[in-house]
Structure 1
Amino acid sequence: MAKQSPTRDALQLLADDHRTVEALFEKFETTRGAATQQKIVQQICEELTIHCIIEEQVFYPAVREAADDDMLDEAQVEHDSAKVLIESLQASTPEDPFYEAKVSVLKEQVEHHVYEEERQRGSIFAQARRSEVDLVALGAQMAELKAELKAQAKAGSLEAPEKVALRA
């Protein structure tokens, strides 16, 4: 009988995304050369865009009843704020004014967001763990959407997610 790979639960999948983006930010900070930096920033933007979409479309709605509404609302505002920076970074180059500052602020926002989701007392992850939500089934649903979004990104057709809390 073939051995199946274990399904990542929703929290593991999101934490893996967090570690991926943290590593990309570290790589950016140690890389010199505008072309390489821009490539890393584009990876960061793609990873964060996909992460925002799977959280907003699958994870947050699934845990909304179990989690503190204020925390989820704040997470949405943080996502929207990141989306603004992502759009700006995707439309610019390392030679543009404020490019590195935008990357730095995006990194700080992501670090704050990750802390609140994963590590803060009463975090969204902790609330999800205490809930009756099937985190394994949710993780499978999120992984499926993530694969679709990765395929869209590879094809160049990944669309920027809608800003929910910070509509222009």
Structure 2
Amino acid sequence: MATQTDTDATHILEADHRKVEDLFGQYEKASGIERKRSIAEKICNELKIHTMIEEEIFYPALEGKIEESLLKEAYVEHDGAKVLVNDIAAGSPDEEFYDAKVLVLKEQIEHHVREEEKMQGNMFQQARASDVDLDALGEQLLARKKELKAQAETSGLPPAKVATL
């Protein structure tokens, strides 16, 4: 798990995964439109930031270092999630399919997390076995994450952009 001084890129991304898992748990227990809206907004922002730092920094650093199929699948999985993130962010918890969309997004993210960190031969294991400097990469991830969090708090994040669809 990432700590304040832990700059290993895989630990930072794992900490993001745990945070989003916790938010999905909060959403499932929540009642009331405003509470659900607030948690869903947090989920969407966390996922926008996470996919951006992975796609801008982490995945490009792994090209040629890990199985290409893992990277390609990760980009496609991100795009599927981004479609739902944008739909959820533009919607409201009082809409008929809103809760179902949040649930499907949760299931998509759980699948993606399994492939990045839990299955045998996963992306993070392969990254750790490569010659990529995960601490230097982690510092880049943290710096970009800080910028995006500030943007989210001030002007807001734009809709997530798909890359493969």
Q: Name the TM tier (shorter chain).
A: over 0.9
CA contact (8 A) 1:67 1:128 kept: yes
Deviation at 1:16, TM superposition (A): 0.4
How far apart are the structure 2 equivalents of 1:157 and 1:122? 37
**Unmatched tracts of structure 2, length 5 or more:** none
**Unmatched tracts of structure 1, length 5 or more:** none
How far apart are the structure 2 equivalents of 1:10 and 1:85? 26
Q: What RMSD in Å do the two structures reach over aligned CA positions? A: 0.9
How far apart are the structure 1 equivalents of 2:43 and 2:155? 15
Residue equivalent to 1:55: 54
Runs of 4+ in 1 over 3 A off after TM superposition: none
Residue equivalent to 1:148: 147
Deviation at 1:65, TM superposition (A): 1.3
Residue equivalent to 2:159: 160
CA contact (8 A) 1:85 1:106 kept: yes
**Aligned length in residues:** 162
- Identity over aligned residues, as a percent? 48
How far apart are the structure 2 equivalents of 1:26 and 1:50? 19
How far apart are the structure 2 equivalents of 1:161 and 1:108? 19
Deviation at 1:66, TM superposition (A): 1.1
Deviation at 1:160, TM superposition (A): 2.6
How far apart are the structure 2 equivalents of 1:59 and 1:27? 28
Residue equivalent to 1:132: 131
CA contact (8 A) 1:7 1:140 kept: no
How far apart are the structure 1 equivalents of 2:68 and 2:43? 28
